[in-house]
Amino acid sequence: MNTDFRLFPEQASSAAPSVDTLFLFIVGVSVFFSVITAVLLIYFALRYRRKSPGHFPRPVEGSTRMEALWALFLLVMFLLIFFWGAFQYLGMIHPPENAMEVYVVGKQWMWHLQHPEGGQREINELHVPVGQPVKLTMTSDDVIHSFFIPAFRVKQDVVPGRFTYLWFTPTKTGSYHIFCAQYCGTQHSRMVGWVHVMDPAEYQQWLSGRADQSMALRGRELFLKYQCIACHSGDSQAKAPLLEDLYRKEVHLRDGRVVTADDEYIRRSIREPAADIVDPYQPIMPTFGPDQMSSDDLENLLVFIKTLGPNQTPTRNERTPAPESGTAGGK
């Protein structure tokens, strides 16, 4: 019989101890004041009860000073909890610059995960090295899901049509549960998986042993498949901006705005090309919604565009037949 009972999940990430400390502090404060309130309630009920039909207790006058001090004390306690929680939250939503990125797509009823380097693709499993910050970029192909790793104390909703982010730094090797914490259909309870935290050397061995085509290379194939090169060619026939060295650069739009070409801008430019028209180009690019391009293909194409350096755009003679959904224009 397994007698390993835990009131709380194991602390296996850098955020887990501080999250638990805040949680236990709030629980402790709540229990303390609940006990004080209950004891005083019972005491006052007994102390000031009506002892006989003709007994009338003396009126008790309140203390303005005591009420003011009590209100100030509660205000300080509430502000302490608020700012403590706010700083904890801000630290958990801003991943460090050296975070390893993994792309996650939630589907009924599975998690599909992709590693940009090496191109490893996993279903309901995620392998990561211990001590390495990991950033998850997540979206859904159908309904709202929620990616939850109790041992890491992290949870984030995964929403169709948009991208959400989650990061953690695992501190212990081992295998830890992944759950979907949002009811997503009849097989919601089966949408589970595992995070496998490995020693760095063991992780590199796993990574090389499962070498696959990288996301950037698959993105290059998609760049040709969807005939993006027809407009984003960078030559005299170009009808759209050159995408080389675009990532994190400023982009001037026709409406006068200046935006940064980050992940969200590139995704939006593919999904909703009419939202941000680059000056001086025309809005001729068709929309590539989820029906025309899957979330996996979108992420592969994004990684390819992010890695495009000078003189790395595919040439026109590499063009391949367009998919049945149509051809791409320029943006």
pLDDT of residue 16: 93
Choose among 151, 158, 164: nearest CA to 188.
158
Cis amide prior to 206 (ω within 30 degrees): no
Q: Which of 161-165, 175-179, 229-233 has the lowest mean pLDDT?
A: 229-233
Residue 188 is classified by DSSP as: G
pLDDT of residue 42: 94
- C-alpha 15/C-alpha 220 separation (Å) is 37
Of residues 62 and 278, more confidently modeled: 278
pLDDT of residue 328: 40
- C-alpha 133/C-alpha 163 separation (Å) is 19
pLDDT of residue 330: 42
Q: Which of 85-94, 134-143, 163-172, 287-296 has the lowest mean pLDDT?
A: 287-296
Of residues 25 and 298, more confidently modeled: 25
pLDDT of residue 119: 67
pLDDT of residue 317: 65
Question: The tokens of 23 are what?
Answer: 């949680």
Mean pLDDT of 33-62: 84
pLDDT of residue 318: 63
pLDDT of residue 316: 65
Domains and CATH numbers, the chain: 1-41+65-212 (2.60.40.420), 215-318 (1.10.760.10)
- C-alpha 8/C-alpha 17 separation (Å) is 11
- C-alpha 273/C-alpha 283 separation (Å) is 7
**Residue 218, phi then psi, degrees to nearest 5:** -65, -35
pLDDT of residue 326: 37
State the pLDDT confidence band at 159, using cuts at 50, 70 and 90: very high
pLDDT of residue 324: 39
Maximum pairwise Cα distance, the chain: 106
One-letter amino acid of 255: D
pLDDT of residue 50: 75
Q: Which of 62-76, 134-148, 308-322 has the lowest mean pLDDT?
A: 308-322
Of residues 105 and 309, more confidently modeled: 105
Contact 145, 153 (CB under 8 A): no
State the pLDDT confidence band at 171, using cuts at 50, 70 and 90: very high
Q: Using the predicted structure, report yes or no on whether residue 170 has a pLDDT greater than 60.
A: yes
pLDDT of residue 243: 85
- Tell me the pLDDT tens digit for each residue of 191-227: 999 999 999 999 888 877 655 567 777 888 888 888 8
- Tell me the pLDDT tens digit for each residue of 243-295: 888 888 888 888 888 888 888 888 888 888 888 888 888 888 888 887 788 88
pLDDT of residue 211: 56
Q: Using the predicted structure, report yes or no on whether residue 56 has a pLDDT greater than 80.
A: no
pLDDT of residue 319: 52
Could you give the angle at the alpha carbon of 101 between the alpha carbons of 91 and 303, nearest 5°? 130
Contact 73, 79 (CB under 8 A): no
Could you give the angle at the alpha carbon of 55 between the alpha carbons of 53 and 61, nearest 5°? 135
**Residue 294, phi then psi, degrees to nearest 5:** -70, 165
